[in-house]
Structure 1
Amino acid sequence: MEQSSHQKTSQSNSKRPFVLAAIMLAMFLAAIEATIVSTAMPSIASDLGGFSLYSWVFSAYLLTNASTVLIFGKLSDIFGRKPIFLMGISLFLTGSLLCGFSTSMEMLIVFRFIQGIGAGALMPIASTIVGDIYTKEERAQIQGYLASVWGISAVTGPVLGGFFVDVLNWKYVFWMNLPLGFLAIVGIVVFFKEDIEKEKRSIDYIGSLLLIFSVSSLMMILVEGGVAIPWNSNTMFLLMMFSLIAFLLFIFQERRAKDPMMPFSIWTYRSITVANITSLTTGMILIGVSSFLPAFVQGVMEQSATVAGFTLTAMSIGWPISSTIAGRLLLKIGFRTTSILGGLALIIGGVFFFLLTPEKGPFWAAAGSFFIGVGMGLSTTSFIVSIQNTVDWKRRGIATATNMFMRTLGSALGAALLGGILNGKIQSVIKERGLENQASVDTTNILLDAEKRSSLSEDVLQTLQDALTIGLHQVYIGLLLLAILSFVLIIFLPKGDKA
């Protein structure tokens, strides 16, 4: 299998650091997008108007990113990594340029769609190129470097976003991508050499379209369900039916296609199947921490946004550190044992959150966040390296992309499921205390603003804080159960096989 990768890539060792630097730059662009745009969004919304479309600025990016990630992974297996990577980064930069010129929220959302399509190629193909140019032994260590990009972006995103909004203009949040993206393009064009075997391979266009239809409608359900589209509406029912039918047709198409978009053969490897299903559950844990922890720290503990940011940064520190350690562990103790250590760290983090109370303070919350980061770093690094070592060059792109897609899907599922649990609990506590006329689930937003919080009556403030505490405790019970489930799944990884 390893031999196949070297047949395809004629990469001299002296140029590999430049290729790696270009890849890390491109991954940084995609990774920082979430944090830097979140920081700038209040300023963007006040400038462009259309506050009701606020969430769509994020949804549009997530939607096209998730819908195209598998397709780009497969195309890179057919045409090579270089042309597809360059296409992806070009689309991402085009979307970034246009986002800065937006004069309305609707325009911004359309251009975010374009950005998201490009990001669908950046992440999986960057990881796949690393799988191609480095040996089995080296991959583990290099994945640690790639993971550090997430840590750096999580820390610098809010700082840069705040700087651009306060000193320059929110447009630079998007335009910042242009010089960095150009450097990444130059690095790949000049230093990355790839030999593609000229062989006739058909493209499964029907499968691609069915996959886009199924995934995009599923993401629409998960992202907008209960927000813009009520769960019990006709629109929601039609979306669900459309997604299901498109998925069933996709499976039928893949079974009969000569070169299927998603070769089901990769799911026959137990290591890949377990890694992918576990990535779904860890994706849910990830969104549970990053979405709901700031609400607890600000709304219940009454701490500042900076302190809330600190508790999340702890996860961003734990992740790259443990990814780097995982690189060494994989060589000594193998994928399964390294992943099991990651699963244990997730459970420890889950226990911290399960025991979290307002009195425990932000350091307790940060400790839980740190252990979740350690668990994510150990497990995701093990999964990616294991997957890339299991399949040959012709399937490495789609295999890597599938794992990333499962994590994205898990995050979207987690946001919908855990968000639903939280809202339901808040609503029931308000009802129990007979304050439906004075407060609602939306009133909880006031808890996050220290000035507005003081305008609430003592009764309403206490009720909302109690409701948020009880609701978030339910969410954290869910997180602990997901961590235990992830650990159980990891146990099923095949034994032996070191990096």
Structure 2
Amino acid sequence: MSESVHHQITHRHWILVAAMLAMFMAAIEVTIVATAMPTIIAELGGFSQFGWVFSIYLLTQAVSVPIYGRLADLWGRKRVFFIGTSLFLIGSVLCGFASQMGWLILFRAMQGLGAGAIMPLTSTIIADVYPPRERASIQGWLSSVWGVAAIIGPLTGAWIVQHFSWALIFWVNVPIGIISMLMLARWFPESRREQTQRLNLTGSGWLMLTVSALLTALLQAETLGYWVVALFAVALLAGYALMRHEVRADEPLFPMAIWRSRTLVAGNAGNLVIGAAMMGISAFLPTWIQGVNGGTPLQAGSALAMMSIGWPLASMLSGRLMQRTSYRFTAQLGSVLLILGTAMLLTLHSNSTAWQAGISAFVIGTGMGMTSTTFLIAVQNTAEFHIRGICTASIMFSRMLGSALGTAVMGAVLNYNLMTRLPGHRDPVQQIMSQPQRDALSHGSLQQMVSEIALSLHWVFAVSLAIAVASLLIARLIPAIRPH
């Protein structure tokens, strides 16, 4: 499918609906499972393995994203999308039948391997069927799915576990995925260039080893102890081997065009820092609201949902703004909003309301939505058709890697500050988050702990601010032209 045949596609709206359904299925998975996990643990046990239910999903998803992107360029979007979605749905069905935590973790790994195809390929399919001038606004519609999922997911998960078996939270994916595949099978006119290339299996192997070791070390740093050093060493050596192999390979996993184009490099770097900055909000803002302000989980979730609402709204607005101004202006405006929102977090204090935190999260969400969509559209409009799949996948991969890096860096900043400021307390955040432990503290002790934890979190927000400033510098690298 070349850029000249977009007008020949007569059912683009149904293809868009199918892509949005698939994106919704992947987006709601995280929030709906998080809501149901207490119920699942109560039945299956294995609380010590709780973190792996989420980490293994993120790990296998991140590892497989670049591979699916390359396969989509070689085998065609539709075939690879069906393979990945089928694997995701099989994993979903098996998760519902898990009888112990170990099986659930294994089936979540299968889900993640399938999910690695869904996000990049839905965006790539939309880029294939819509011309450059329309892609920005259409990608905004795709982004809006995340905002809807962020609101519907927790409510649906809570309703299901209250009235039905927790297995249904996994099985609800099945009809959505089947409908999406049937719609694409009917209306998406798969067309691809004849390829004599084969998948770079050696490069794929080195990539999987590099990313698996790196993300496992970052996501499980607190539980692995000194094994983290060994994992970082493995990631470093495997990454070096990957670079040497890619330079010499006739068919590199990541085409050299990605590294030769300033726009493609900027798009990946931009999403790396956006993913990192996002974790400063998603992981630590609820801690501020519940720990420092003494708010409820509902208040924390509501404030965080403001970011998910701002993201799709700004994403849709950025499409029109790009066509009136330029990629660079839109990305820079989004970066300024991101900087403003993270700076607002530094003004929070112990008497701040959840609404103040929510407004900050909303501004941050608008900045993220505007910058991420602009970087994605600039990359898709720059990349040739035969590498658009891997270029889109690399954007998604960069954001996931940034999220893992951001979690590790900001977690380390928080832990260092807590260890320095409250050396005589073990897990002080847990003490003020748990209502019985909080009530057991004297007024003076509680005020001291809250004050020191607030200062520690301010350092986390300062790191987020520095990362947001980096996004403004990266935005200057993309061209000052409009989509055409």
TM-score range, shorter chain: over 0.9
Q: Deviations over 1:89-115 (max 9, x none)?
A: 101111111111111111111111000
Give the 3-state SS of the residue equivalent to 1:14 in structure 2. Answer: coil
Per the alignment, residue 230 of structure 2 pairs with: 238
Per the alignment, residue 249 of structure 1 pairs with: 241
User: Which segment drifts farther, 43-52 or 53-62?
Assistant: 43-52
Amino acid at match of 2:472: F
CA contact (8 A) 1:37 1:161 kept: yes
Pairing 1:105-120 to 2, within 5 Å after superposition: 105-120=101-116
Rounded to whole Å, the distance in 2 between the matches of 1:220 and 1:103 is 25
User: Which segment drifts farther, 409-418 or 183-192?
Assistant: 183-192
Q: Deviations over 1:285-328 (max 9, x none)?
A: 11110111111101111111111111111111111111111111
Amino acid at match of 1:209: G
Pairing 1:182-331 to 2, within 5 Å after superposition: 182-225=178-221, 227-230=222-225, 233=226, 235-331=227-323
Match of 1:99 among 95, 99, 103: 95
Amino acid at match of 1:38: A
State the 1:497 CA deviation: 4.0
Rounded to whole Å, the distance in 1 between the matches of 2:363 and 2:243 is 38
Rounded to whole Å, the distance in 1 between the matches of 2:440 and 2:17 is 51
CA contact (8 A) 1:280 1:406 kept: yes
Are 1:165 and 2:161 matched, yes or no? yes
Per the alignment, residue 465 of structure 1 pairs with: 450
Give the 3-state SS of the residue equivalent to 1:193 in structure 2. Answer: coil
CA contact (8 A) 2:378 2:478 kept: no
CA contact (8 A) 2:277 2:468 kept: yes
Match of 2:59 among 53, 58, 63: 63
State the 1:346 CA deviation: 0.4
Give the 3-state SS of the residue equivalent to 1:498 in structure 2. Answer: coil
Q: Identify if the C-alpha distance between structure 1 residues 492 and 402 changes in structure 2 by more than 3 Å, giving closer, same or farther.
A: same
CA contact (8 A) 1:22 1:184 kept: yes
Per the alignment, residue 402 of structure 1 pairs with: 394
Are 1:492 and 2:482 matched, yes or no? no
Any gaps of 5 or more consecutive residues in structure 1?
Answer: none
User: Which segment drifts farther, 353-362 or 87-96?
Assistant: 353-362
State the 1:415 CA deviation: 0.4
Give the 3-state SS of the residue equivalent to 1:307 in structure 2. Answer: helix
CA contact (8 A) 2:139 2:316 kept: yes
Per the alignment, residue 4 of structure 1 pairs with: 2
Pairing 1:318-467 to 2, within 5 Å after superposition: 318-431=310-423, 436=424, 439-441=425-427, 443-467=428-452
CA contact (8 A) 1:342 1:375 kept: yes
State the 1:169 CA deviation: 2.1
Are 1:148 and 2:144 matched, yes or no? yes
State the 1:493 CA deviation: 2.3
Rounded to whole Å, the distance in 2 between the matches of 1:202 and 1:94 is 27
Per the alignment, residue 175 of structure 1 pairs with: 171
Match of 2:118 among 96, 117, 122: 122
Amino acid at match of 1:239: L
Are 1:132 and 2:131 matched, yes or no? no
CA contact (8 A) 1:222 1:416 kept: yes
CA contact (8 A) 1:143 1:324 kept: yes
Per the alignment, residue 47 of structure 1 pairs with: 43
State the 1:13 CA deviation: 3.7
Give the 3-state SS of the residue equivalent to 2:223 in structure 1. Answer: coil
CA contact (8 A) 1:30 1:123 kept: yes
Rounded to whole Å, the distance in 1 between the matches of 2:434 and 2:8 is 55
Q: Deviations over 1:68-125 (max 9, x none)?
A: 1000000000001000001111011111111111111111111110000111100001
Rounded to whole Å, the distance in 1 between the matches of 2:52 and 2:444 is 34
State the 1:464 CA deviation: 2.9
Q: Deviations over 1:231-285 (max 9, x none)?
A: xx1x222211211111111111112222211112212111111121121111111
CA contact (8 A) 2:323 2:482 kept: no
Give the 3-state SS of the residue equivalent to 2:2 in structure 1. Answer: helix
Task: Provide the aligned C-alpha RMSD in A.
Answer: 1.5
Amino acid at match of 1:256: R
Paired residues in the alignment total 484
Rounded to whole Å, the distance in 2 between the matches of 1:460 and 1:73 is 53
Rounded to whole Å, the distance in 2 between the matches of 1:138 and 1:308 is 36
Rounded to whole Å, the distance in 2 between the matches of 1:155 and 1:139 is 25
Q: Identify if the C-alpha distance between structure 1 residues 460 and 51 changes in structure 2 by more than 3 Å, giving closer, same or farther.
A: farther
Rounded to whole Å, the distance in 2 between the matches of 1:390 and 1:440 is 52
Amino acid at match of 1:478: V
Rounded to whole Å, the distance in 2 between the matches of 1:424 and 1:53 is 25
Rounded to whole Å, the distance in 2 between the matches of 1:171 and 1:119 is 19
Amino acid at match of 2:322: L
Give the 3-state SS of the residue equivalent to 1:260 in structure 2. Answer: coil
CA contact (8 A) 1:4 1:392 kept: no
Rounded to whole Å, the distance in 2 between the matches of 1:93 and 1:453 is 43
User: Which segment drifts farther, 464-473 or 21-30?
Assistant: 464-473
Amino acid at match of 1:464: M
Give the 3-state SS of the residue equivalent to 1:197 in structure 2. Answer: coil
Rounded to whole Å, the distance in 2 between the matches of 1:259 and 1:93 is 31
Rounded to whole Å, the distance in 2 between the matches of 1:23 and 1:492 is 30
**% identity of equivalent residues:** 39
State the 1:463 CA deviation: 3.5
Q: TM-score, normalised by structure 1?
A: 0.94
Give the 3-state SS of the residue equivalent to 1:199 in structure 2. Answer: coil
CA contact (8 A) 1:333 1:498 kept: no
CA contact (8 A) 2:270 2:375 kept: no
Q: TM-score, normalised by structure 2?
A: 0.97
Amino acid at match of 1:393: F
CA contact (8 A) 1:25 1:184 kept: yes
CA contact (8 A) 1:350 1:476 kept: yes
CA contact (8 A) 2:324 2:482 kept: no
Give the 3-state SS of the residue equivalent to 1:259 in structure 2. Answer: coil
Rounded to whole Å, the distance in 2 between the matches of 1:132 and 1:498 is 15
Amino acid at match of 1:399: C
Q: Deviations over 1:366-386 (max 9, x none)?
A: 111011100011111111111
Rounded to whole Å, the distance in 1 between the matches of 2:34 and 2:100 is 17
Per the alignment, residue 464 of structure 2 pairs with: 479
CA contact (8 A) 2:414 2:460 kept: yes
CA contact (8 A) 1:26 1:184 kept: yes
State the 1:417 CA deviation: 0.6
Any gaps of 5 or more consecutive residues in structure 2?
Answer: none
